[in-house]
């Protein structure tokens, strides 16, 4: 363990400039973690190391720097490690109890911890009645905490034991202390990804993140990117990952998957799909994150691709949470909702903490019109993670279906709070307010939904219709104009009916305001649509009639009309002429 | 957060993806406590017990069997009270098992009387069923479960055994002796204080677990919730402190997130501390859970979850109403009404209707039509509670609008009959409180006092649970406030203080009804300071009063300004107030404002301008049967007439008012009336006899003023007396009065206001 301080120094002074140095550090930390049985961190580091160019032979870091104590404990450690690998934790701990090296001490404590965890899980199945089930605890935790805290105060803990201490504290629900310890662990051993990951789960908001003093090391960028994704600060995360790719990690499957997930979170479906396809090519047997991929395929209704993915994953490993979720999505897309629900249940049995499955199950029950089961599923999702906006949104939808618009306001508001820049919640909120005849609030919601970038392009239309109802003709016209601009500017014609509605309204509006040029333009455009053709023609006829009677210059009127103060109104109506339907 | 639940979802009760809300469907699991009960039963069947004791034990069986799990100490104590010999035998038996080996427990279960064959415990009797359940449950246990049961039995026994015999209830000793704690305390070196302090969160959680280990079982949790809810309803001082209760509930929910009732209690608890976020959250969570548990019924029918949906919306409305968000409450209520209408739930609709008129009332609009409708419909659907609630609300409105007294009283009497018939004790209390308020409003202090005493001394109809009678309702607060005011009116400030002390204990400042006594207290203090002439002390109270009640605050402000001779400002405020009150139809305040305005006119010696105002006040108060205010108005009229130089008229007017004032009025009014009478007599043709009478009248007034310790007026009285004695030529008495006057004058140090300028 003499390596650790060296590693730390190395990590602190090197930025991305020296990829070779980073690779060296990764290789050493891999061997360190491997010795201690920290498999997930090994996996992460190895994936990252794999993405970097291989080192020439003479540059490889010396594999072992053995201390006196290590030599003494060598045999016992080897024995215990073999037991540990075979999941015989108590046995491993027994043979390690007399060892003095830090490595052995860590494995000793870690075995005790894992043994407690294993027993806890076994107890759960085999308990004395349901009452006791809630009380099943990892009994080893308290002892571990006492011992570790004593050592901690004496300053005898190295990076790995600090990490373990943090985990124990977290399991005991002492979250504040846990965060402190994890921060300390990252300072002592910045290269251990496990500590960073635990920190990610404990940091709940950006203020808390800012208050932490973290070591400045290249790995911190990975952490920041990860936590930005967790906290739904997607642009920041994407930026971080981009810079990491530019720094030389372009081949890392980890980064690719994280970026794909980030794109998924901001509903940039095409980008995300492309990345996932790339990922599948590079790492065809990967199961992680495939549930997210299947969500994307589901949204895009890509049945054959989803079916292919599902079959492929079943071949790889059918008892994985991700596989079950993918199959669930597959059935859901085929409208076999019972089966879908069944697979989500299976996923939950495999991992009850899998919150995506709870939410998805809620969606399935919604499809099956089983509202009460849906509510329950969503509630479970919220219990697992209070920040799950989809579950809150789902609850809102459920109550909306039950025709309780006021009641669902609370849930939509919660969802909106968690995703302030997601237009779907805002539109949903707006619709509820509209149902409650709270037009002012509804208008605010729609306008805000448009301002944050409306995904479904419906907010403006709804706003315009609302304004039309309230006989705010000018505002409605402006909204329709922006709506049409939006629709045409994004290239594809999403809904013909609604565009024609807008055009029809605008035609009438200009006609009433004696702006005959614009009116006739709108009327002509109307004729492109089947359902508005007759009205368009009628309007054209009217215009020509009126024009024959009086030759009114329209310029002044137009000026007075557009001379209003709200920002929407500044858009000139003449812009219409530039549209190409 | 998530890790807490991870073990919970490996749930054998999960079918169809739905975890059944009641995972505790099976209630019969063998626990150490149950073993103790079994051994008690065993002892009872095998050993010879005296008939008397046997009878007592038999009585005990049912509560022991169905009650929550007790600690061994408590259990043995209960048994000991009935039959010490059996208790000892039970203890020995448990000791055998706990100190022996696993086989001792196994042996015990094999020797248990099998009720299928045994005659003593018939197989379908309560005891027989219990034993059979236990045997079945025991036989179903797996190997490791049996071992665990034995372990917990040992723990159960040793916790009791290690404890001093008298400390059965002492939780702290219990914690200290807990074996879990030994682990830590042996590890920690003795001098290591730091460690302990550092560990305090851990210790706290350990302690908490120990305490709440009881409530965690289904029955115990239910018992805990029921008790706390009952206490919250009836006397929330005796319930756990809000923070503590919240902690307990969180703990309970951590282990069992499906326990919906806990969410509801959480809602009630956060209502106590006016926390809208948590209360909304918990309320919605509760109904989300409730919807699940009701889902087995018909999907949208009366029993299905459609019903709970309606009540969910209704409860949300009431929540917003409580927090004064009337618009939101209105929306929620409309929603509830709509859903209820769609599913033809008339009962729910009735509830909605009664909330609707309450809401309208709170918003300050007239809702009598709605209320009448509600009463009619409620009577039609046989909902006596809602019907009489509606009538009470109508009575309240009627009283404010000046309906005739006998109509109101009749209505109240009719509802009272209904209440007693259905034993609606809460409504009886409200009805009494309402009677008190009405009598007070009419100015009949004796009747009010009598009714208040009746309410306070009435024993509640509700069964007394947990040693708490219901006495924290609004009705009690209202009654006590009236009583305090009545005492203050009579100058009995000692009694008032006592009452407020009680109110403070019963309704701590954070509770819902605390505002009632706060305002009342402020008003009494204000009046006292005004009577004492300490305007600088009264002034700071005005903002406080205003915070509680805007109208009242404005009125008081005007009074202070008037006393400080800032006439213009006072006049402006009074004008504003009058307009406002005419809009809200707050008759009492209008009359008081009119009187104050008239007094303002007096200050500028403009007596005739005040007359129409006073007459208006008189008409109003007579129309609304407000006797106290009417007499006070007459007093003002008499004074005006005296000032205008018609003392004969003044005296005749005064005589009309004198009787009710002396019978019902406050002590201040009495004094003022008598002083005025004396001044009228002085102003009349002075015969020797009439002057003597005037002196006596003044004596009486003086005694009233001295109880109030109202020195300014006392000084006036002495001055008048001195002058009377002087005109009668009684020098000695004149000198005495003059001396008293001089003493008071020196004490007060403020220049005397012209006596004849004020009432």
pLDDT computed for residue A43 by the predictor: 92
Q: Residue B555: which pLDDT band, with cuts at 50, 70 and 90? A: very high
Answer positive or negative: Cα dihedral of B175, B178, B180, B182: positive
Chain B residue nearest residue A168, CA to CA: B3
pLDDT computed for residue B116 by the predictor: 60
Q: How far is the CA of B699 from the CAs of B56, B663, B677, B687, B721, in angstroms?
A: 71, 18, 12, 19, 8
Query: Which residues, in sequence order, are CB contacts of A288 under 8 Å at separation 6+?
Result: A257, A322
- The SS3 of residue B465 is strand
- The SS3 of residue B18 is strand
Task: Look up residue B611 and give its two tokens.
Answer: 């007359």
Chain A residues within 8 A of B18 when measuring between CB atoms: 373, 376
- Is the CB of A130 less than 8 angstroms away from the CB of B13? yes
- Among the partner-chain residues B205, B292, B335, the one whose CB lies closest to the CB of A406 is B335
Number of H helices, E strands in chain B: 39, 2
pLDDT computed for residue A491 by the predictor: 60
Q: Look up tokens 């929603």; give the residue.
A: B335
- Is the CB of A120 less than 8 angstroms away from the CB of B284? no
Task: Give the CB-side neighbour count of residue B209, counting CA atoms within 13 A.
Answer: 17
Closest CA–CA distance from residue B145 to any residue of chain A (Å):
6
Is residue A518 within 8 Å of A508, Cβ to Cβ?
no
pLDDT computed for residue A525 by the predictor: 76
Chain B residues within 8 A of A143 when measuring between CB atoms: 183, 187
pTM (predicted TM-score): 0.72
Q: How far is the CA of B392 from the CAs of A395, B376, B435, B749, in angstroms?
A: 40, 13, 10, 52
For chains A and B, CB pairs below 8 A equal 152
- Is the CB of B216 less than 8 angstroms away from the CB of A174? no
Chain B residues within 8 A of A405 when measuring between CB atoms: 335
- Is the CB of A376 less than 8 angstroms away from the CB of B7? no
For residue A175, with 0-12 CB atoms within 10 Å meaning exposed, 13-18 middle and 19 or more buried, which class applies?
A: middle
Residues of chain B above pLDDT 70, percent: 81
- Is the CB of A124 less than 8 angstroms away from the CB of B216? no
- Is the CB of B24 less than 8 angstroms away from the CB of A130? yes
Q: DSSP readout, A198-238?
A: HHHHH--SHHHHHH-----SHHHHHHHHHHHHHTT-HHHHH
Over 90: is that where the pLDDT of A8 sits? no
pLDDT tens string A413-423 = 999 988 888 88
Is residue A47 within 8 Å of A252, Cβ to Cβ?
yes
- Among the partner-chain residues A134, A142, A149, the one whose CB lies closest to the CB of B216 is A134
Q: Which of B202-206, B217-221, B679-683 has the lowest mean pLDDT?
A: B202-206
Work out the average pLDDT over B458-476.
Answer: 68
C-alpha A490, offset from chain centre? 25
In whole angstroms, what is the distance from residue A281 CA to residue A274 CA? 11
Residues of chain A above pLDDT 70, percent: 86
Closest CA–CA distance from residue B132 to any residue of chain A (Å):
17
Query: Which residues, in sequence order, are CB contacts of A459 under 8 Å at separation 6+?
Result: A423, A426, A427, A430, A446, A447, A449, A450
Over 60: is that where the pLDDT of A114 sits? yes
**Angle between helix B72-82 and B32-46 (nearest 10):** 20
Closest CA–CA distance from residue A129 to any residue of chain B (Å):
6
Helix%, strand%, coil% for chain A, nearest 5: 75, 0, 25
Mutate to test the interface with B, among A177, A230, A345, A352 (most CBs of B within 10 A): A352
Selected residue with higher pLDDT from A373 and A493: A373
pLDDT tens string B287-305 = 888 765 554 444 444 455 6
Q: Residue A567: which pLDDT band, with cuts at 50, 70 and 90? A: very low
pLDDT computed for residue A79 by the predictor: 92
Chain B residues within 8 A of A383 when measuring between CB atoms: 5, 257
Chain A residues within 8 A of B259 when measuring between CB atoms: none
Chain B residues within 8 A of A173 when measuring between CB atoms: 4, 205
- Among the partner-chain residues A174, A348, A371, the one whose CB lies closest to the CB of B201 is A174
Question: Which alpha helices (DSSP H) does A405-532 contain, by range?
Answer: 405-418, 423-435, 439-451, 459-469, 473-489, 496-512, 516-526
Q: How far is the CA of B692 from the CAs of B31, B330, B720, B723, in angstroms?
A: 91, 67, 12, 12
Mutate to test the interface with A, among B3, B4, B7 (most CBs of A within 10 A): B7
Is residue B650 within 8 Å of B642, Cβ to Cβ?
yes
Task: Look up residue A363 and give its two tokens.
Answer: 């969606």
Chain B residue nearest residue A369, CA to CA: B299
- Is the CB of B26 less than 8 angstroms away from the CB of A129? yes
pLDDT tens string B475-516 = 888 999 999 999 998 888 899 999 999 888 888 887 778 888
Q: Look up tokens 């961190």; give the residue.
A: A41
Is residue B5 within 8 Å of A383, Cβ to Cβ?
yes
Q: Residue A490: which pLDDT band, with cuts at 50, 70 and 90? A: low
Over 80: is that where the pLDDT of A138 sits? no
Give strand pairing partners of B19: B14
Work out the average pLDDT over B738-745.
Answer: 87
Mutate to test the interface with B, among A119, A372, A386 (most CBs of B within 10 A): A372
pLDDT computed for residue B9 by the predictor: 30
Closest CA–CA distance from residue A72 to any residue of chain B (Å):
28
Chain A residues within 8 A of B201 when measuring between CB atoms: 174, 177
Question: Which alpha helices (DSSP H) does A127-217 contain, by range?
Answer: 129-133, 140-153, 159-171, 175-188, 193-202, 206-211
Average pLDDT, chain B: 78
pLDDT computed for residue B484 by the predictor: 93
In whole angstroms, what is the distance from residue B378 CA to residue B393 CA? 14
C-alpha B126, offset from chain centre? 41
Q: Residue A246: which pLDDT band, with cuts at 50, 70 and 90? A: confident
- Is the CB of A384 less than 8 angstroms away from the CB of B2? yes
C-alpha A256, offset from chain centre? 14
In whole angstroms, what is the distance from residue A218 CA to residue A222 CA? 7
pLDDT computed for residue B37 by the predictor: 86
Q: Residue A9: which pLDDT band, with cuts at 50, 70 and 90? A: very low
- Is the CB of B292 less than 8 angstroms away from the CB of A345? no
Most confident range, picked from A433-437, A535-539, B176-180: A433-437
Chain B residue nearest residue A167, CA to CA: B3
Chain B residues within 8 A of A361 when measuring between CB atoms: 17
- Among the partner-chain residues B7, B328, B334, the one whose CB lies closest to the CB of A133 is B7
pLDDT computed for residue A163 by the predictor: 92
Is residue A22 within 8 Å of A51, Cβ to Cβ?
no
pLDDT computed for residue B257 by the predictor: 67
Mutate to test the interface with A, among B9, B31, B34 (most CBs of A within 10 A): B9
In whole angstroms, what is the distance from residue B295 CA to residue B17 CA? 14
- Is the CB of A135 less than 8 angstroms away from the CB of B313? no
Query: Does the interface ipTM go beyond 0.85?
Result: no
In whole angstroms, what is the distance from residue B707 CA to residue B692 CA? 23
Q: How far is the CA of A130 from the CAs of B34, B207, B586, B717, in angstroms?
A: 16, 23, 61, 82
Q: DSSP readout, B587-650?
A: HHHHHHHHHHHHHHHHHTT-HHHHHHHHHHHHHHHHHTT-HHHHHHHHHHHHHHHHHTT-HHHH
pLDDT computed for residue A401 by the predictor: 87
Over 50: is that where the pLDDT of A391 sits? yes
Selected residue with higher pLDDT from B634 and A100: B634
In whole angstroms, what is the distance from residue B314 CA to residue B307 CA? 11
pLDDT computed for residue B10 by the predictor: 31
Over 50: is that where the pLDDT of B268 sits? yes
For residue A123, with 0-12 CB atoms within 10 Å meaning exposed, 13-18 middle and 19 or more buried, which class applies?
A: buried
pLDDT tens string B594-626 = 999 998 888 888 888 888 899 999 998 888 888
Task: Look up residue A261 and give its two tokens.
Answer: 């997930």
Number of H helices, E strands in chain A: 32, 0
Mutate to test the interface with A, among B14, B17, B27, B221 (most CBs of A within 10 A): B17
For residue B369, with 0-12 CB atoms within 10 Å meaning exposed, 13-18 middle and 19 or more buried, which class applies?
A: exposed
- Is the CB of A384 less than 8 angstroms away from the CB of B31? no
Over 60: is that where the pLDDT of A109 sits? yes
Count CB-CB contacts under 10 A for residue A39: 12
Task: Look up residue A154 and give its two tokens.
Answer: 């004496």
Q: Which of A257-271, B300-314, B435-449 has the lowest mean pLDDT?
A: B300-314
pLDDT tens string A447-462 = 888 888 776 677 878 8
- Is the CB of B6 less than 8 angstroms away from the CB of A352? yes
Chain B residue nearest residue A385, CA to CA: B2
- Among the partner-chain residues A130, A134, A407, the one whose CB lies closest to the CB of B313 is A407
Chain B residues within 8 A of A408 when measuring between CB atoms: none
Closest CA–CA distance from residue B368 to any residue of chain A (Å):
26
Over 60: is that where the pLDDT of B239 sits? yes
Check residue B468 and report its DSSP letter: B
- Among the partner-chain residues A143, A371, A407, the one whose CB lies closest to the CB of B316 is A407
Closest CA–CA distance from residue A128 to any residue of chain B (Å):
6
pLDDT tens string B562-595 = 888 888 899 999 999 999 888 888 888 899 999 9
C-alpha A130, offset from chain centre? 35
In whole angstroms, what is the distance from residue A135 CA to residue B215 CA? 12
- Among the partner-chain residues A120, A134, A379, the one whose CB lies closest to the CB of B8 is A134
- Among the partner-chain residues A125, A149, A376, the one whose CB lies closest to the CB of B18 is A376
Check residue A530 and report its DSSP letter: G
Assign 3-class secondary structure to B291-351.
Answer: HHHHHHCCCCCCCCHHHHHHHHHHHHHHHHHHCCCHHHHHHHHHHHHHHHHHCCCHHHHHH
């Amino acid at each position: 363990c003499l390596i650790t301080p060296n590693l730390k120094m190395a990590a602190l002074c090197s930025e991305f400039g020296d990829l070779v140095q980073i690779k060296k550090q990764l290789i050493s930390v891999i061997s360190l973690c491997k010795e201690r049985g920290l498999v997930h961190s090994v996996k992460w580091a190895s994936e990252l190391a794999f993405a970097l160019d291989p080192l020439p032979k003479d540059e490889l870091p010396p594999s072992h720097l053995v201390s006196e104590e290590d030599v003494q404990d060598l045999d016992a450690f080897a024995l215990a490690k073999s037991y540990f690998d075979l999941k015989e934790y108590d046995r491993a701990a027994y043979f390690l109890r007399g060892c003095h090296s830090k490595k052995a001490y860590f494995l000793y404590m870690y075995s005790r911890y894992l043994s407690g965890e294993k027993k806890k899980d076994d107890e759960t199945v085999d308990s004395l009645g349901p009452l006791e089930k809630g009380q099943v605890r990892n009994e080893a935790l308290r002892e571990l905490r006492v011992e570790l805290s004593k050592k901690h105060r004496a300053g005898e803990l190295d990076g790995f034991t600090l990490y373990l201490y943090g985990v124990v504290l977290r399991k005991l629900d002492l979250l504040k202390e846990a965060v402190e310890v994890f921060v300390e662990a990252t300072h002592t051993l910045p290269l251990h990804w496990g500590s960073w990951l635990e920190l990610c789960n404990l940091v709940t908001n950006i203020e808390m993140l800012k208050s932490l003093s973290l070591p400045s090391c290249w790995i911190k960028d990975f952490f920041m990117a990860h936590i930005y994704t967790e906290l739904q600060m997607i642009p920041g995360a994407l930026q971080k990952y981009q810079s990491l790719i530019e720094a030389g990690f372009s081949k890392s499957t980890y980064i690719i998957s994280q970026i794909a997930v980030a794109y998924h979170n901001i509903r940039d479906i095409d980008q995300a799909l492309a990345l996932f396809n790339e990922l599948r090519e590079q790492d065809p047997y990967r199961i992680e994150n495939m549930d997210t991929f299947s969500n994307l395929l589901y949204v895009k209704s890509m049945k054959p691709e989803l079916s292919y993915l599902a079959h492929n994953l079943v071949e790889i490993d059918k008892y994985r949470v991700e596989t079950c979720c993918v199959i669930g999505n597959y059935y859901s897309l085929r409208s076999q909702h019972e089966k879908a629900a069944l697979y989500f249940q299976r996923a939950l049995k495999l991992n009850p903490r899998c919150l995506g499955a709870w939410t998805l199950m809620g969606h399935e029950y919604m499809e099956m019109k089983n509202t009460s089961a849906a509510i329950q599923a969503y509630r479970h999702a919220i219990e697992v993670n209070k920040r799950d906006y989809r579950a809150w949104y789902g609850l809102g939808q459920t109550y909306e279906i039950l025709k309780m618009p006021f009641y669902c306001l609370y849930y939509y508001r919660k969802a909106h709070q968690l995703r302030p820049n997601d237009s779907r919640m805002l539109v949903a909120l707006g619709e509820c307010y509209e149902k409650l005849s709270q037009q002012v609030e509804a208008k605010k919601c729609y306008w805000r939904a448009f301002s944050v970038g409306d995904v479904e392009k419906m907010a403006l239309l709804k706003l315009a219709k609302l304004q039309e109802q309230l006989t705010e003709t000018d505002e409605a016209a402006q909204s329709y104009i922006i709506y049409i601009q939006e629709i045409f500017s994004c290239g594809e014609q999403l809904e013909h009916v609604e565009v024609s509605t807008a055009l029809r309204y605008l035609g009438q509006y200009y006609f009433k305001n004696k702006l005959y040029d614009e009116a006739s333009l709108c009327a002509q455009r109307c004729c492109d649509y089947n359902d508005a053709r007759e009205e368009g023609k009628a309007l054209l006829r009217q215009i020509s009639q009126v024009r024959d009677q009086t030759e009114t210059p329209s310029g002044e009127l137009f000026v007075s009309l557009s001379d209003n103060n709200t920002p929407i109104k500044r858009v000139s109506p003449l812009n219409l002429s530039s549209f190409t339907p | 957060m998530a890790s807490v639940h991870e073990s919970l979802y490996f749930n054998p009760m999960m079918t169809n993806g739905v975890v059944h809300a009641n995972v505790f469907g099976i209630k019969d699991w063998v626990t150490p406590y149950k073993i103790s009960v079994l051994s008690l039963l065993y002892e009872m069947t095998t050993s010879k017990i005296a008939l008397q004791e046997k009878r007592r034990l038999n009585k005990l069986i049912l509560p022991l069997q169905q009650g929550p799990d007790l600690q061994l100490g408590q259990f043995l104590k209960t048994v000991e009270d009935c039959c010490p010999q059996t208790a000892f035998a039970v203890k020995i038996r448990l000791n055998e098992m706990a100190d022996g080996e696993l086989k001792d427990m196994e042996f015990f279960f094999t020797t248990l009387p099998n009720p299928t064959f045994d005659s003593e415990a018939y197989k379908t009797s309560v005891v027989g069923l219990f034993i059979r359940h236990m045997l079945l449950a025991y036989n179903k246990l797996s190997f490791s479960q049996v071992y665990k049961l034995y372990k917990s039995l040992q723990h159960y026994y040793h916790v009791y055994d290690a404890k001093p015999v008298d400390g059965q209830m002492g939780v702290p000793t219990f914690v200290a002796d807990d074996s879990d704690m030994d682990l830590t305390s042996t590890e920690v070196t003795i001098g290591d204080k730091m460690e302990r302090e550092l560990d305090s969160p851990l210790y706290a959680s350990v302690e908490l677990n120990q305490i709440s280990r009881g409530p965690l079982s289904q029955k115990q949790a239910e018992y805990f919730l029921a008790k706390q809810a009952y206490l919250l309803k009836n006397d929330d001082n005796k319930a756990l402190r809000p923070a503590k209760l919240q902690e307990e509930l969180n703990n309970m929910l951590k282990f069992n997130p499906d326990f919906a009732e806990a969410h509801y209690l959480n809602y009630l608890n956060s209502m106590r501390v006016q926390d809208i976020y948590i209360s909304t959250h918990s309320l919605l969570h509760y109904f989300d859970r409730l919807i699940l548990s009701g889902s087995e019924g018909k999907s949208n029918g009366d029993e299905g979850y459609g019903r709970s949906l309606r009540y969910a919306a209704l409860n949300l409305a009431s929540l917003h109403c409580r927090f004064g968000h009337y618009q939101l409450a209105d929306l929620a209520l409309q929603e509830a009404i709509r859903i209820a209408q769609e599913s033809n739930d008339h009962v729910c609709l009735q509830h909605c209707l009664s909330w609707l008129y309450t809401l309208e009332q709170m918003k300050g609009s007239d809702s009598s039509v709605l209320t009448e409708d509600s009463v009619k419909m409620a009577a039609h659907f046989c909902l006596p509670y809602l019907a009489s609630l509606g009538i009470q609300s109508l009575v309240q409105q009627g009283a404010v609008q000046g309906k005739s007294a006998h109509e109101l009283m009749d209505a109240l009497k009719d509802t009272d009959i209904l209440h007693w018939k259905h034993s609606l004790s809460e409504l009886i209390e409200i009805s009494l409180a309402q009677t008190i308020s009405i009598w007070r409003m009419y100015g009949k202090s004796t009747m009010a006092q009598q009714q208040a005493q009746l309410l306070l001394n009435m024993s509640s109809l509700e069964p007394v649970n947990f040693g708490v009678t219901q006495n924290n309702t609004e009705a009690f607060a209202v009654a006590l406030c009236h009583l305090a005011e009545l005492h203050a009116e009579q100058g009995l400030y000692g009694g008032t203080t006592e009452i407020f002390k009680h109110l403070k204990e019963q309704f701590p400042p954070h509770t819902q009804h605390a505002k009632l006594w706060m305002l009342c207290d402020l008003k009494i203090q204000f009046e006292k300071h005004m009577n004492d002439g300490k305007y600088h002390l009264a002034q700071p109270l005005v903002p406080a009063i205003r915070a509680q009640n805007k109208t009242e605050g404005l009125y008081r402000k005007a009074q202070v300004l008037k006393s400080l001779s800032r006439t213009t400002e006072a006049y402006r405020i009074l004008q504003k107030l009058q307009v406002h009150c005419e809009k809200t139809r707050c008759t009492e305040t209008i009359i008081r404002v009119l009187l104050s305005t008239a007094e303002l006119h007096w200050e500028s010696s403009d007596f005739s301008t005040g007359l129409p105002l006073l007459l208006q006040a008189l008409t109003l108060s007579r129309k609304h049967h407000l006797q106290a205010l009417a007499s006070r108005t007459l007093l003002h009229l008499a004074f005006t007439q005296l000032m205008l130089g018609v003392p004969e008229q003044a005296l005749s007017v005064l005589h009309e008012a004198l009787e009710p004032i002396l019978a019902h009025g406050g002590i201040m009014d009495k004094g003022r009336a008598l002083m005025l009478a004396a001044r009228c007599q002085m102003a009349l043709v002075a015969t020797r006899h009439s002057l003597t009478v005037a002196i006596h009248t003044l004596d009486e007034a003086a005694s009233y003023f001295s109880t109030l310790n109202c020195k300014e007026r006392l000084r006036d009285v002495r001055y008048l007396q001195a002058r009377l004695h002087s005109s009668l030529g009684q020098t000695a008495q004149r000198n005495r009065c003059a001396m008293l006057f001089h003493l008071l004058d020196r004490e007060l140090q403020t220049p005397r206001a012209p006596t004849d300028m004020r009432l």
